[in-house]
Amino acid sequence: MATGKRGLISAAVAVVCAVTVLTAPGTALAAPDPTPGASAGSGSGSGSGSGTTASAPATDSELEVVRKKLNDLYHDAALATDEYNSAEELADQQSEEIVGLARRIVKGQEKLAELRERAGAAARAQYRTGGLPPQAGLMLSDDPRQFLDGAGRILQGERATDSTLTKLEQTQQDLEQYAKDASAGWEKLEANRRAAERAKKKIKKQIAAAEKVESELAKEEKVRLAELERKAADRAQDAWLDTGVLDGSDDSASGAGRTAVAYAKDQLGKAYEWGAEGPNTFDCSGLTSQAWAAAGVPIPRTSQEQWRQLKRVSAEDMRPGDLIIYNADASHVALYVGDGAMVHSPRPGRTVTIAGAGSMPILGVVRPGA
């Protein structure tokens, strides 16, 4: 390994964990800088002033530090992604509410114009009678039948006028309330948009940090890191299965569950993208929400809301189509496909894949449509 390469490993772990693991006593890091005046190619002896042109690759313990920190960075990115998705969902809902209020305002304005026309017509009719109220003309009538008919019409007219004025006043009040609600809704919409932007910045920051760490590893070290990840997942899966959680389990699924599983499997190989819900890329909850949408069962968009709102079932009763929620903060979700496996969209740089259902820390299991 070249001198510069060893320096990159040191820098990577420094960025990753901000600790001195790689500079601990007894651990050889980057080759020391050549002594002043020494040529780059000289000095293979053991003298304290000799330069070194190569050093050993990172140890497994050093790569394990990198692996754990990468998990932390991508975990934080997943949390921020849930924040982003939630803010976007709320913004969409708020937009729909504002559109609905706008339609009600338009209808209210039309109704208000109609009521004002009615009130104006009544005023014009009174003007045509010389300004005398209808009761005055009625009192001048000598015909009893005309008097009774007139009294009935006057009563109906007064009621109609009173009703028109009441409706006019109520419509004006409704319009004022709609306007207030729309204004408040707009403020909430803007707040949700700002929240989404903040979450977007968090996501990009965490992903950029993780990508920087990975970019500073040599190809051989990336292969070894992937092997460490695989072994850690296998250990977690074996430990989960050893609990007997699937002993006597039934892998039969509902019709909707089978449809959701089939949809998720059809997405295998598609790239992870935060905030995406298909058809070409997915984040973790984008995949699960779309899988169940394909089954005709709408569920919440984010993993945290899926955990919060859907019916919880025990892992022993888990069946294909159920959602497995991971991590104590419900920051990841996968779709159980049976036989101890799940399908999920893992993280940036990865694709939709099938993995052991117990390969990550399980928070619980929920069942859509229950």
Question: How far apart (Å, rounded) are the C-alpha atoms in residues 320 and 88?
Answer: 29
Active site residues: 284, 332, 344
Which two tokens mark 298? 């709408």
- pLDDT beneath 50: ranges in the chain: 1-54, 132, 138-140, 148, 151, 154
- pLDDT tens digit sequence for 118-154: 767 766 665 555 554 555 554 445 555 555 455 455 4
Question: How far apart (Å, rounded) are the C-alpha atoms in residues 112 and 167?
Answer: 9
The pLDDT of residue 146: 55
The pLDDT of residue 51: 41
The pLDDT of residue 122: 62
The pLDDT of residue 282: 98
Which two tokens mark 161? 């006028």
The CA radius of gyration of the chain, in Å to the nearest whole number, is 36
State the first-to-last Cα distance of the chain, in angstroms, to the nearest integer.
57
**Other Cβ atoms closer than 10 A to 308:** 13
The pLDDT of residue 188: 85
- pLDDT tens digit sequence for 70-125: 989 989 999 899 889 888 888 888 888 888 888 888 887 777 777 777 767 766 66
Whether residue 279 has a cis bond before it, omega within 30° of 0: yes
Question: How far apart (Å, rounded) are the C-alpha atoms in residues 349 and 288?
Answer: 19
**Other Cβ atoms closer than 10 A to 246:** 18
Task: Walk me through the domains of the chain, giving residue ranges and CATH numbers.
Answer: 77-213 (1.10.287), 248-367 (3.90.1720.10)
Answer yes or no: are the C-beta atoms of 284 and 332 closer than 8 Å: yes
Question: How far apart (Å, rounded) are the C-alpha atoms in residues 57 and 4?
Answer: 12
At which residue do the structure tokens 């051989």 appear?
220
Question: How far apart (Å, rounded) are the C-alpha atoms in residues 191 and 97?
Answer: 15
DSSP string, 125-149: HHHHTTT--HHHHHHT---HHHHHH
**Other Cβ atoms closer than 10 A to 275:** 16
The pLDDT of residue 274: 94
